[in-house]
Amino acid sequence: MGQVLNPKTENNTFTKRIGQTTYVVRFHYSENARETMQEKINRMLVNEVNRSDFMETEEKMAE
């Protein structure tokens, strides 16, 4: 691998090793965003839970 990361993006990078493969992940975000990353994650989790509850309700009604 041996690739040098750009110092400008180095803080927006993390590595994860899975088996014999090392993944280098770079992420970015808008500085003009209307919500913080934490707010976005929370919103996505709430949506996922609501969708899951809806699916379970539909399955029970089908019985």
Domain ranges of the chain: 10-62
Predicted confidence at residue 23, as pLDDT, reads 94
The model's pTM: 0.45
State the pairing for strand pair 21-26/13-18.
antiparallel
SS3 40: helix
DSSP 8-class letter at 18: E
pLDDT at 2: 58
In this prediction, residue 45 carries a pLDDT of: 94
What pLDDT, on the 0 to 100 scale, is given for residue 41? Answer: 92
Q: What pLDDT is recorded for position 58?
A: 66
Query: In the chain, which residues have pLDDT < 50?
Result: none
